[in-house]
Structure 1
């Protein structure tokens, strides 16, 4: 017994059966859950106590999951978000990721898959061991605090989601090497995880947009048909 509190997951879905099934699956995995029946209840729950992860249904009445995600990110809330949706269109997955979600599962789903994807997100968000505190990355005007999960451009913090930070850290660790989309997926999720190339592209666009707001125009380079690598990061910060 280490005394470590279990990870808390907020389950947001208007279907009580789905909430019940997921609550049982997460409990078996050693995680605690809280439930919200709609978007407004979800926002209130996060405001009261930020969970370790939000499992968020997209198709809910009054306020759908996309709007909940949009509002959380507008509040600079970086809680990881795993979307659930009955819509399997790629554009829906891409929109969810571009709004700031970390992953996406299509209904009908296996509860084990949802727990596995949630676990992958939580592992990426886990605090680094003490010895990793000295492994900060500095590249041009970019600095990554790997222990604190913070990214800086010329000492200005850039708020990133767990997945965005992990993706940027993977590119930084690769140095000048180009990483293919498949290689980035393996680093983020592990081999064999079903994630589309468009999902990676959406995360890259989010990173570029956020750094561009700080004056960074060269944080990530694209090699057409190959993949991505960290840019020179020499852009001028805003005055």
Structure 2
């Protein structure tokens, strides 16, 4: 079945270009030219991915993103923005967007990101379906000091207490914890966790994801003991 992409963008020419190119790649599209309509379609139609502009009439992209996430939806959100201010991009990520792409962008790059995010969700869903429900105790659990990752249930616990992680946060800690002590650059994490092959663009999405993960897993996020920074190199799991 074809995947459905919701395009929330107030410039009709951009909507037309995106819809045409996505359709050529085999995707179905839904379109909204304002924030309220985009939010309604996101909640009612449950698309496989949302392309969300920041500057929208009626309700801006930040508010649409916030409300989609408050509804419990984990649909990947890729923000489209003409803004260069870092604070706006970081705010979008902190509200739950998976990534952003700055206008003007190449259709090829956007399609690559769409495909990567949909593939990531599909891989996670398949992994959950294939997990053996009657696995032996500790058979599929990664224990690293005070942190335990139960891959059969896709859950993470600290001191025996489950943590409320997003899919991206879960993917990130699983990847780092599987190789404790090994340092991964932001570019490497973009490739392995975000599924962006050969990624050489903006990597601030990694820093935001790490910060959000630290807020949930660390005793003191300002002095992390689990997800540690190796200055000038990247991040590693210390356990």
TM-score (normalizing by structure 1): 0.81
1:34-56 Cα offsets, whole Å, 9 max, x none, are 11221111221122132111110
User: Structure 2: where are the runs of 5+ without partners?
Assistant: none
* Distance (whole Å) between structure 2 residues aligned to residue 53 and residue 149 of structure 1: 21
Q: How does 1:200-239 map to 2 (within 5 A)?
A: 200-211=206-217, 218-232=225-239
Superposed, 1:50-199 pairs within 5 Å as 50-126=46-122, 127-129=125-127, 137-144=142-149, 146=151, 150-153=155-158, 154-160=160-166, 162-187=167-192, 188-199=194-205
Larger deviation, residues 114-123 vs 197-206: 197-206
- 1:178-225 Cα deviation digits (max 9, x unpaired): 222222122123442233242211111111224469x9x744222333
Contact 1:25-1:112 at 8 Å conserved across structures: no
Q: Answer with 204-213 or 98-107: which moved more.
A: 204-213
1:120 counterpart SS class = helix
Alpha-carbon distance in structure 1 between the residues aligned to 2:38 and 2:157: 30
Q: Is the 1:10–1:33 contact (alpha carbons within 8 Å) kept by the matching residues of 2?
A: yes
CA offset at residue 138 of structure 1?
4.1
- Distance in 1, matches of 2:217 and 2:69, equals 16
Question: Over aligned residue pairs, what C-alpha RMSD do you find?
Answer: 2.6
Separation in 1 of the partners of 2:232 and 2:119? 30
In the alignment, is the contact (CA less than 8 A) between 2:155 and 2:162 conserved in 1?
no
